[in-house]
């Protein structure tokens, strides 16, 4: 039963990752800021970091149960 709950938590996390990295969302952050730099690298790093932290949280929580 533990494997099923882990899978049910990882599927929405995977869908969130797909949402984070779809081209329409990426194009929103590819616009230049007032200083001429793009927000895309910052967004990519933040989205990647959020996914890693959420994955670690889900996996560690599943080991405790």
Q: With respect to residue 29, please indicate whether it lies within any of the assigned structural domains.
A: yes
Question: Does residue 11 sit within a domain?
Answer: yes
The whole model's pTM is what?
A: 0.81
Domain membership flag for residue 47: yes
Whole-number mean pLDDT of the chain?
A: 88
In the chain, the number of structural domains is: 1
Q: Is residue 27 part of a domain?
A: yes
What does the pLDDT look like over 21-45, one tens digit per residue?
A: 999 999 999 888 888 888 999 999 9
Distances (CA, A) of 18 to 14, 42, 47: 6, 18, 11
Does any domain span residue 16?
yes
For residue 16, give its domain range.
7-64
1 located within any domain: no
Query: Nearest-CA neighbor of 58 among 2, 9, 11?
Result: 9
50 occurs within a structural domain:
yes
- Residue 6 predicted with pLDDT over 90: no
């Amino acid at each position: 039963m533990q494997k099923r709950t882990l899978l049910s938590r990882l599927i929405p996390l995977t869908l969130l990752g797909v949402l984070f990295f779809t081209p329409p969302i990426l194009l929103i952050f590819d616009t230049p800021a007032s200083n001429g730099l793009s927000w895309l690298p910052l967004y990519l790093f933040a989205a990647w970091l959020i996914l890693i932290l959420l994955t670690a949280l889900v996996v560690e929580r599943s080991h405790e149960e």
